[in-house]
Amino acid sequence: MSATVVGAVVVAVLGMGLVGFGLSQASSTRRQRVADALDLTLSQETKPTAALALALERSVKWAESRTEGTPFRERMLVKLERARVTLRPEEFLLIWAGAVVGPAVVGLVFGGLLWGAVLAVIGALVPPAVLSRRTTTWTRDFEAQLPDVLDLLASSMEAGHSLLTALQLVGEDAAEPMGSEVNRVLSETEVGRPLLEALDAMSRRIDVQDLAWTVEGIRIQSEVGGRLSEMLRTLAGFMRAREEVRRELRALTAEGKLSAYVLGGLPILMLLFMSFAAREYIKPLFTQTAGQIMLGFAAVLMIGSGLAMRKIVDVEV
């Protein structure tokens, strides 16, 4: 039994190490960029740290050899870029595996098969949820900036500047996340890519409906002619009106979302409380077949009701 526990702890530590490695990659990458910009020399890693990094890098290369050219890798590249996560798909995959294996082993050793399965499911859901949350936050910030940027473009064009020159002014003055995206478009045009193609690529990369409409409007205006500045101001006013409607809907559906969180978390919290306060009372749920079936059925009902409530309160505008 002791050997089993030791092995489980080793596996759990390895899983948590993969998670820590992934979380440290973004900060280490930014640290190296700052050092390169300032022409600094970073201190050398100690031998244990270097050996661990080498082992993890070999794991990343192994995962890369298994996922190279697959649709999964392409989809993950898009998701990581939209979430602005500075990780390769293989690194994120190893983090994902560590988030599943580590908690699962801990739950299996200290709580049994059911707790191992529960923690494994929770660990599997956390990394995609983090990506989704980061993507949603970044997209909302971008959408909030877009009307003001369109007004600035329209003002610059009314003053006699071309669209490219107006974008250069936006790239110099706009805050994140708009500034980096506009500068990326300008960098692509500097190496010979047409402006409309660069804007199309930005629209596909960001996947914001308002931006897609803007790029399509710019394309139509460039083909048939007309005053582009007026069209941009019209789009900016329309986007502001849509944003007001979104805010009203978020306020109206906030109560429903809070109810969904409370109703979804209450059974889980009660189960955890009873596990400590009255362990013998709920023990048949985990030890007997009928109890395990009831727990599985309850989990299915909770997931189904949660998805249904989310669909009710999630209104698109």
Position 108 scores a pLDDT of 83
Position 68 scores a pLDDT of 72
> Are residues 135 and 83 in contact, defined by beta-carbon separation less than 8 angstroms?
yes
Per-residue buried b or exposed e for 27-40, using 16+ beta carbons within 10 Å of the residue's own CB: eeeeeeeeeeeeee
Between 238 and 174, where is the model more confident? 238
Amino acid identity of 228?
A: L
Position 45 scores a pLDDT of 45
* Length reported for the chain: 317
Tell the CATH topology of 140-243: Receptor-associated Protein (1.20.81)
Distance CA 23, CA 227 (A): 48
pLDDT band at 224 (very low <50, low <70, confident <90, very high): confident
Between 44 and 286, where is the model more confident? 286
Position 163 scores a pLDDT of 86
Position 112 scores a pLDDT of 73
Collapse the DSSP code of 243 into the 3-class scheme (helix H, G, I; strand E, B; otherwise coil) and give the result. helix
The number of beta carbons lying within 10 Å of the beta carbon of residue 290 is 9
Mean pLDDT of 121-150: 87
Where in the chain are the domains?
2-111, 140-243, 246-313
Distance CA 192, CA 177 (A): 24
Minimum mean pLDDT range among 28-37, 90-99, 104-113, 205-214? 28-37
Percent of the chain whose predicted confidence (pLDDT) is above 90: 0
Examine the pLDDT at 55 and tell me if it is beyond 80.
Answer: no
Mean pLDDT of 279-287: 83
Cα–Cα–Cα angle for 295, 117, 259, nearest 5°? 55
Position 42 scores a pLDDT of 44
pLDDT tens digits, 229-265: 888 899 999 888 888 888 888 888 887 788 888 888 8
Between 120 and 23, where is the model more confident? 120
Position 11 scores a pLDDT of 47
The winner for highest mean pLDDT among 59-63, 92-96, 181-185, 224-228 is 181-185
